[in-house]
């Protein structure tokens, strides 16, 4: 306020431009686009899983087993991709990954047998495996630490675009002409965006203090990363949290179909409207997480742990829900909290991982998540025996264990950030969040 006159509120455009802390927004916009279109194929498969299950004559154990069987290939592929990204041009790898998932999305719609469908899903997963390590590494170098949380949260907001339009288009197209056509239709936006990205996205210089000089072999990179105590503890935690990011969407599609008999069109609408709640998680969560990380990243990790505990409670709420609207409310609450959990965790990793192995640090989370994928067949076995409600409920105690482990990483994180960004190290102190909210 100046001279008794309130200062004008910043415009929406200035807020968007301000996300990059004065750095050009072009790279974020292009990576945002790629991250959005990769969700179309993934969410379409999730929302149409009941129809695919019925077409191939699978039970709950079979369909969760199929999902769990095709996931590991993409997760394992993330590490060699990350090693290439740590040594070469990440922009080229990002384009190649997008082309791969577009092609295999089309193959998904054309697959005549269960084996070929599984192969198509593996191929699509291989393409998407590029995004997390390569995009996160690029954003860490395009934008300064002061903008890191907002940039990463904005990048994750792209998932909401795909998460909205993917189920919506897939549900109604499938209801009109069958489950195969949506996968062909939804590959088109990726192909169009690839042309633009391949011409406009340029490789940035790598930023931050290196812990190891020169071209780093994987053995040396892993030993260096394992020596970062925050990373080591978060890797050990991720198996307990992985299914929130990997398997919850298709599980909810089966839940809506089997418990409440929701057909594909309305089911697509329900899951499309996950998107506004993911945006809410990003808007509120990124501001709070950014403020916590600046002054005490240990408290930020404890906030992430709290979000994981709350997700466990809402999973139990959905498993108990006697009416559809209660289950939907619980699912939307999970989306808000999961966004806080994931964006906060990614921001922390971007700050504690050394620049020469940063993509590998992100990719190793995919490897450690393989153990968590085993929870999906467990849900199927328990669900076939006792119903999908009980199958979902078994996930809650797994999440609670993960929340405890996340909180323990807070003891090391400020020191680990100081090793990579000494000028931006958090200084633990009391926090007043009133101006953040």
Angle between helices 297-320 and 324-352 (to 10 degrees): 160
Average pLDDT over residues 139-159: 78
pLDDT in tens, 180-206: 999 989 888 888 888 888 888 888 887
Average pLDDT over residues 99-118: 90
CB 143 within 8 A of CB 287: no
Give the integer Cα–Cα distance in Å for 92 and 84: 10
What per-residue confidence (pLDDT) applies to 365?
A: 77
What per-residue confidence (pLDDT) applies to 313?
A: 93
Residue 425 has pLDDT above 60, yes or no: no
CB 282 within 8 A of CB 138: no
The rounded percent of the chain whose pLDDT value lies above 70 is 84
Residue with the bigger pLDDT between 421 and 228: it is: 228
Which residue shows structure tokens 């958090």? 426
Residue with the bigger pLDDT between 389 and 148: it is: 389
Max Cα-Cα span within the chain: 73
Question: Could you give all domains of the chain from N- to C-terminal order, each with its CATH number?
Answer: 24-205+216-424 (1.20.1250.20)
What are the residues whose beta carbons fall under 8 Å from the beta carbon of 9, sequence distance 6 or more?
A: none
pLDDT in tens, 349-404: 888 888 878 878 877 877 777 777 766 677 777 878 888 898 888 888 888 988 88
Which residue shows structure tokens 């467990």? 378
Mean pLDDT (the chain, rounded): 80
Lowest mean pLDDT among 11-25, 99-113, 254-268, 388-402: 11-25
Residue 183: closest CA among 40, 300, 75: 40
Q: How far is CA 119 from the centre of its chain?
A: 23
What per-residue confidence (pLDDT) applies to 11?
A: 47
What per-residue confidence (pLDDT) applies to 359?
A: 79
Lowest mean pLDDT among 175-189, 225-239, 421-435: 421-435
Residue 254 has pLDDT above 70, yes or no: yes
Does an H or E element contain 351, and which? helix 324-352
Confidence of residue 430 (pLDDT cuts 50, 70, 90): very low
Q: What is the DSSP string of 100-152?
A: HHHHHHHHHHH--SHHHHHHHHHHHHHHHTTIIIIIHHHHHHHS-GGGHHHHH
What per-residue confidence (pLDDT) applies to 212?
A: 63
Lowest mean pLDDT among 81-95, 134-148, 419-433: 419-433
Residue 30: closest CA among 104, 98, 88, 78: 98
Confidence of residue 245 (pLDDT cuts 50, 70, 90): low
Lowest mean pLDDT among 67-81, 94-108, 220-234, 315-329: 67-81
CB 39 within 8 A of CB 186: no
What per-residue confidence (pLDDT) applies to 178?
A: 87
What per-residue confidence (pLDDT) applies to 436?
A: 40
What per-residue confidence (pLDDT) applies to 329?
A: 93
Which residue shows structure tokens 């797994």? 398
Give the integer Cα–Cα distance in Å for 406 and 303: 9
Residue 119: closest CA among 134, 137, 100, 141: 100
What per-residue confidence (pLDDT) applies to 317?
A: 94
């Amino acid at each position: 306020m100046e001279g008794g006159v309130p200062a004008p509120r910043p415009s929406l455009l200035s807020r968007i431009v301000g996300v990059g802390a004065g750095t050009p927004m072009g790279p974020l916009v292009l990576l945002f686009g790629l991250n959005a279109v990769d969700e179309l194929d993934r969410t379409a498969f999730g929302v149409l899983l009941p129809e695919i299950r019925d077409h191939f004559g699978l039970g709950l154990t079979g369909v969760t087993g199929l999902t769990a069987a095709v996931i590991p290939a993409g997760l394992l592929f993330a590490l060699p991709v990350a090693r290439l990204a740590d040594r070469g041009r990440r922009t080229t790898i990002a384009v190649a990954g997008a082309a791969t998932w577009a092609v295999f999305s089309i193959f998904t719609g054309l697959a005549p047998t269960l084996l070929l469908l599984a192969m198509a899903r593996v191929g699509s997963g291989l393409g998407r495996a590029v995004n997390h390590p390569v995009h996160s590494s690029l954003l860490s170098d395009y934008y300064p630490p002061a903008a890191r949380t907002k940039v990463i949260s904005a990048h994750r907001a792209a998932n909401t675009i795909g998460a909205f339009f993917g189920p919506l288009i897939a549900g109604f197209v499938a209801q009109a002409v069958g489950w195969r056509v949506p996968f062909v239709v939804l590959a088109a936006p990726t192909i169009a965006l690839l042309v633009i990205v391949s011409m406009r996205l340029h490789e940035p210089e790598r930023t931050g203090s290196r812990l190891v000089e020169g071209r780093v072999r994987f053995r040396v990179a892993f030993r260096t990363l394992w020596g970062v105590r925050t990373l080591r503890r978060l890797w050990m935690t991720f198996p307990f949290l992985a299914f929130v990011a990997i398997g919850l969407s298709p599980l909810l599609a089966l839940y809506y179909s089997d418990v409440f008999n929701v057909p594909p069109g309305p089911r697509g609408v329900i899951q499309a409207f996950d998107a506004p709640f993911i945006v809410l998680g990003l808007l509120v969560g990124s501001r709070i997480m950014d403020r916590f990380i600046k002054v005490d990243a240990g408290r930020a990790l404890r906030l992430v742990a709290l979000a994981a505990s709350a997700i466990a409670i809402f999973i139990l709420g959905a498993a108990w829900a006697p009416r559809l609207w209660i289950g939907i409310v619980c699912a939307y609450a999970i989306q808000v909290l999961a966004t806080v959990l994931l964006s906060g965790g990614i921001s922390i990793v971007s700050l504690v991982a050394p620049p020469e192995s940063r993509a590998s640090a992100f990719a190793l989370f995919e490897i450690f998540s393989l153990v968590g994928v085993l929870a999906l067949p467990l849900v199927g076995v328990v669900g076939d025996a006792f119903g999908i409600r009980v199958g979902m409920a078994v996930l809650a105690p797994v999440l609670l264990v993960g929340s405890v482990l996340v909180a323990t990483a807070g003891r090391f994180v400020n020191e680990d950030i100081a090793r990579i960004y000494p000028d931006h190290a958090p200084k633990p102190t009391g926090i007043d969040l009133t101006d953040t909210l």
